[in-house]
Amino acid sequence: MDLPRITDFEILEKLGAGSYATVYRARHKKLKSYHAIKFVEMSSLSHSSRENLITEIRLLRCLNHKYIVTLQDFFWDDKTIYIVLEYCNAGSLSTFIRSKKSLPEATCKYFLRQLATAVQYMRSNDICHFDLKPQNLLLTRSQGNSVSLKVADFGFAQHLKLGEMNQQLKGSLLYMAPEIVRKHQYDAKADLWSIGVILYECLFGRAPYTSKTIEELLGRIRSCEKIRLPPNVCISKECEDLLCGLLEHDPAKRISFNDFFNHTFLDLKTFPSEKTLQKAIELVTKAVEYDEKHDYKEAYYLYCSSLQYFVPLITEESDANKRLALRSRALSYMKRAEEIKNALSHSSPALKTALDIGRQGELYLYEHKFQLALETFTSALGVMVPFLNKEPKGERRILLVQQLENWMKEAESIKNILSAKEMEAEPKITQTVRSCCLQ
């Protein structure tokens, strides 16, 4: 098939086609840069599709965010409108899910945090997307091999403040909030339902209302059929809580945007940004100051707190040299925190024993020796709980309580995994994210 020709660009391949547009991968002849160009045939545009196209161009010109596809240019001739977009070289979240069948919880969280920051930015500009789905979440891989998500296709998007209502039918049925189908009246919280469906599909490999026919799908939506989690699949309590909050049929009871952005599963306060880097540097600077003053308990607490910000920064950094530098700094702080922890626990033999046992449990967990890990964590907790009852108030007690709670969560997660293994010969295990500040 012959590829179309266009001034200044070399058309390389067809990426996809919709009802009124075809998208091609192209290279700028002079700049040698790669782009996705949407070819829109004017003759194929209905009134509604023309309105959608104008909306998409108008909104994308105003939006500037790391996790939203960039509109780089647009122009036209007598027959065609050309929209030059940022090229995303790793396909879509939809194809990624299909290739993996389902995604580990940690991977779901990785992508959901990126989507949440994009939606947070859109809400700060009173913009609703109204067509959030895995097909419209594109992926791009950097030279450093990190993958980023980009929100695309703003054809159904519009300005809508919180509380304002809309009545126009918008979206893709499988991801559409039930109030759109049932009442034809909805507000910005319809996007939260779509995010819930996306999270569900990432975790379990299919949307909750996946059906064989449109009639069956409509029936399940109109009846507000209860959404159930697949049996024998283990996810963390935090993840389940967020998922249930997003997939609440009644928009009045659905999780709010503010509660979504502040949910513990997302933990957006440590999400990589200039602010989190500044926070990490601020914390570690204070840690060094207390370390030099020999206030080791406070120094230890601050070193651990800084690592909660440094580690996500390392994960997200696309520049290999910067990532190496950040990793080196984080390892040095981690080493110093470990030295202080050993010194603090040395004065209490029972505490040192409990921490050593707990660390062994962590190793068993990393090796997927779940039964041994559970037994070891149980032993560590058996030593630490009586010790904490006698521990006076202070920074060390706060840190020990944090460690205790973390191991209790790990033990509970392992119990769920072992239960799943008993019910299914080959279970799908989703590891919980470990964020132990004492590791």
Q: Which residues are known to be catalytic?
A: 131
* Residue with token string 């996306």: 198
How many CB atoms sit inside 10 A of residue 371's CB? 12
Whole-angstrom Cα distance, residue 300 to residue 332?
13
What are φ and ψ of residue 62, in 5° steps?
A: -90, -25
* Residue with token string 């979440």: 137
Q: Give the DSSP H/E element, type plus range, for residue 397.
A: helix 395-423
Integer-rounded Cα radius of gyration of the chain: 25
CA 408, 196, 116, 321 torsion-angle sign: positive
Largest CA distance in the chain: 82
Query: What are the tokens at 327?
Result: 């990793």
Share in percent of the chain as helix, strand, coil (round to 5): 55, 15, 30
Query: What are the tokens at 35?
Result: 């782009």
Provide the 3-class DSSP secondary structure of residue 71.
strand
What are φ and ψ of residue 159, in 5° steps?
A: -75, 125
Whole-angstrom Cα distance, residue 105 to residue 432?
7
DSSP string, 326-348: HHHHHHHHHHHHHHHHHHHHHT-
Helical segments of 22-177, H only? 47-62, 93-100, 105-124
Whole-angstrom Cα distance, residue 321 to residue 282?
22
Whether residue 427 contacts residue 421, with contact meaning beta carbons closer than 8 Å, is answered with: yes
Nearby residues of 80 by Cβ (< 8 Å), 6 or more positions away:
39, 40, 41, 42
Contacts 24+ apart (CB under 8 A), 45-52: 45/20, 46/20, 49/19, 49/20, 49/155, 52/155, 52/156
Query: What are the tokens at 361?
Result: 């449990």
| Residue 276, CB-side half-sphere exposure with 13 Å CA sphere | 18
What are φ and ψ of residue 106, in 5° steps?
A: -60, -40
